[in-house]
Amino acid sequence: MTIPEDQTYDLCIIGCGPGGFAAAMRALDLGKHVCIIEGRDVGGAGVKWGALASKTMWELAKDYAVAAKVDRGYRASGLTVDYPAMRATVMRAVKEKQYQMLSQIETFAPGRYEGPGSLTFKRGWAGFVSAKQVRLRRPGGEEMIGARHFIIATGSSPRPFPGIPTDQKWIIDSDGILGLDRFPERLMIVGAGIIGCEYATIFANFGQTQVFLVDHQKTVIPYEDPDVSAFVRDRLVEKGVKIRHSARLREIARRDDHVEATLDFADGHVEVVEVDRVLISIGRTPRTEGLDLENAGIRPHARGYIDTDADCRAAENIFAVGDVANHPALVNIAEKEARYAVKRMFGYQSYPLDYNNMSTIMFFQPAVAAVGLNERDCREKGIPFKVAHYASDLLTRAIAMRALNGFVKIIVADDDRQTILGMRGAGPQVSSTVVSIAHFMAQGKGAEDVLKLIYPHPTISESIQECLRLILGKSLYKPRAFPDRLWIRRWHPDAGYDQPEP
């Protein structure tokens, strides 16, 4: 079917999550006429089921945990929390963001906006008919939409557990959290990656739920260095989370008012645990069903995602960004890829995408931040490095805040410039400290370059200053005096570490 020229858009975006929305706004900046197609919720998983919803829960849980403290000279009385009221607060936050997005889209709709470009929003499900056309399906009919370029930004869904389907009542995934009608007395979380540990933190902080955290790995957050994983594990245990390492979920049996989960351990023993709900949190899978990609000449990877090149291009005029492509499922990555793809498809120059200095925050208690390489990455790449660890409880600001659990760990190249390669940190305001390190990395700065700055006092950001001073042997506090809080060591491909693991 041939679509008239005046009904063909410059860009059609399938999916209005963080990536799709960012792509639409960048194309509008360039004066393009854009069609946005969304079949589910505006904002995608990044708003309703993921980042915004879960982080609103995290903030509420953190505030509740602080209010419940009895070691600061005050004691709150009559402190209560109920799940429906908390859920209503989360949903208000979700709707605020969704209506912000919809309001902006409608502001630039054809007929309302007289400037260059426009945004046309259509609800429904898109499937490719060819590389230039999609069929929009919605209740009551179909519509053909043509475009010169397409962006697939359909996101991802929670990965199902083989043989154990979710019913979003007794066995739930992250999409079913807000469907609970009360705090479960006992909750088993299967999967100790970022999402699993975040929800373990949230429910533990509210203090209404006994949390069991189960994973087949030997530690939580297994892709991080052992000291970082151990820090996260220890904080969860302090909060009362019962962790089952090296355990695989075999089956879940439904009983009258509870479920029984059978766990098989690596050493051969078996444990049956009675809980009220089970949360499956073993990752996410790209959402490509119904897109009819074969009609556009695109064949998804065996793992489900869409292969793309350095420009986020999946085919000549079709791009894929965010979770549906083979990169970490993070809002900031989806947005960055989307903006970049728009510039490239319309021939604008742009610096290459660099995933090496993209920061991430893990919302535990306290929060953990990461950017760049960790020790494991450096060893795998054969990069000689020096690494220093500086505990937060030596910082004046952390002491004043009574926030003594935390650290900064910085890795630099073991060469004359001591270029910053990565950072891991934990504690209050860690999102700010990690961004400053990301900036230094993007500029190729070394330890000496950064120390030319004068840091404000007292601040958490001084942890960066002191950690880099530690690398250069100039820190205020010395490892000899505080060996359990400060350490530094180096690694070389030929010699290994010069110091044993702290």
CATH, residue 427: 3.30.390.30
In this structure, are strands 141-152 and 8-14 parallel, antiparallel, or unpaired?
Answer: parallel
Same domain for 21 and 83, yes or no, is yes
Regarding whether 78 and 37 lie in a shared domain, the answer is yes
Contacts of 412 (CB under 8 A, 6+ apart): 385, 386, 387, 418, 419, 420, 421, 446, 447, 468, 471
349 and 416 co-located in one domain:
no
Are residue 335 and residue 381 in the same domain, yes or no?
A: no
Instruction: Compute the distance between CA of residue 42 and CA of residue 37 in angstroms, rounded to an integer.
Output: 10
Closest CA to 450 of 431, 423, 430: 423
What token pair was written down for 221? 């957050």
Contact between residue 35 and residue 12 where contact means Cβ atoms under 8 Å apart: yes
Which residue carries 């120059």 as its tokens? Answer: 349
How many angstroms separate the CA atoms of 390 and 142, rounded? Answer: 60
Domain membership flag for residue 395: yes
Is residue 502 assigned to a domain?
no
103 lies in a domain?
yes
One domain, residues 262 and 297: no
Give the end of a domain, one of 225, 257, 282.
282
**Residue type for position 85:** A
Residue 443 near residue 419, CB atoms below 8 Å: no
Q: Which residue has the tokens 């697939």?
A: 152
Give the count of domains, the chain.
3
Structure tokens at 264: 């098989």
CATH code, 68 = 3.50.50.60
- Identity of residue 22: A
| 8 A C-beta contact, residue 279 and residue 190 | yes
Q: Hey, what are 140's tokens?
A: 């009551």
Cα distance between residue 67 and residue 163, in whole Å: 41
Q: Which among 282, 311, 345 is the end of a domain?
A: 282
**Judging by beta carbons within 10 Å of its beta carbon (0-12, 13-18, 19+), is residue 141 exposed, middle or buried?**
exposed
Bridge partners (DSSP) listed for residue 410:
388, 423
338, part of any domain: yes
Alpha carbon distances (Å) from 265 to 186, 216, 241: 21, 8, 18
Do 378 and 487 belong to one domain? Answer: yes
Handedness of CA 220, 155, 349, 130 (dihedral sign): positive
Per-residue pLDDT, 7: 65
Q: How many CA atoms lie within 13 A of 395 on its CB side?
A: 28
CA 401 to chain centre: 27
Question: Could you give the CA distance from residue 91 to residue 177 in angstroms, rounded to a whole number?
Answer: 12
Taking the C-alpha atoms of residue 416 and residue 448, their distance in angstroms, rounded to an integer, is 10
Indicate the pTM of the whole model. 0.93
Are 63 and 78 part of one and the same domain?
A: yes
Q: Give the per-residue pLDDT at 189.
A: 98
φ/ψ of residue 83, rounded to 5: -65, -45
Is residue 422 located within the same domain as residue 277?
Answer: no
Specify whether 260 is located in the same domain as 319.
Answer: no
Q: Show pLDDT as tens, one digit a residue, over the chain (502 residues).
A: 556 555 689 999 999 999 999 999 999 999 999 999 999 999 988 898 888 999 999 999 999 999 998 888 888 888 899 999 999 999 999 999 999 999 999 999 999 998 899 999 999 999 999 999 999 999 889 999 999 999 999 999 999 999 999 999 999 999 999 999 999 999 999 999 999 999 999 999 999 999 999 999 999 999 999 999 999 999 999 999 999 999 999 999 999 899 999 999 999 999 999 999 999 999 999 999 999 999 999 999 988 899 999 999 999 999 999 999 988 888 999 999 999 999 999 999 888 888 888 899 999 999 999 999 999 999 999 999 999 999 999 999 999 999 999 999 999 999 999 999 999 999 999 988 999 999 999 999 999 999 988 989 999 999 999 999 999 999 999 999 999 999 999 999 999 999 888 8
Q: Is residue 165 part of a domain?
A: no
- CA-to-CA dists, residue 240 to 13, 189, 211, angstroms: 45, 14, 7
- Structural domain boundaries, residue 204: 171-282
Task: Let me know if residue 211 belongs to a domain.
Answer: yes
Interaxial angle between packed helices 18-29 and 331-345, expressed in degrees from 0 to 180 and rounded to the nearest 10 = 30
Question: Environment class of residue 370 by beta-carbon count within 10 Å: exposed (0-12), middle (13-18) or buried (19+)?
Answer: buried
Residue 361: inside a domain: no
- Give the per-residue pLDDT at 3: 61
Distance (Å, whole) CA 495 – CA 484: 25
Per-residue model confidence (pLDDT) at position 45: 85
Quote the CA–CA distance of 146 and 265 in Å, as a whole number: 54
Q: Residue 421 class from Cβ within 10 Å (0-12 exposed, 13-18 middle, 19+ buried)?
A: buried
Residue 322 tokens read as: 């965010």
* The domain boundary residue, chosen from 327, 354, 381: 354
The rounded distance, in Å, linking the Cα atoms of 229 and 250 is 25
Is 380 a member of any domain? yes
**CA–CA separation, 269 and 273 (whole Å):** 13
Which ranges of 364-427 does DSSP label H, i.e. alpha helix?
375-381, 396-401
Which amino acid belongs to residue 119?
L
The percent helix, strand, coil of the chain (3-state, each to 5) is 30, 30, 40
Q: Indicate if 350 and 370 belong to the same structural domain.
A: no
Same domain, 377 and 488: yes
Q: Is residue 403 a contact partner of residue 495, using CB atoms and an 8 Å limit?
A: no
Same domain for 183 and 271?
yes
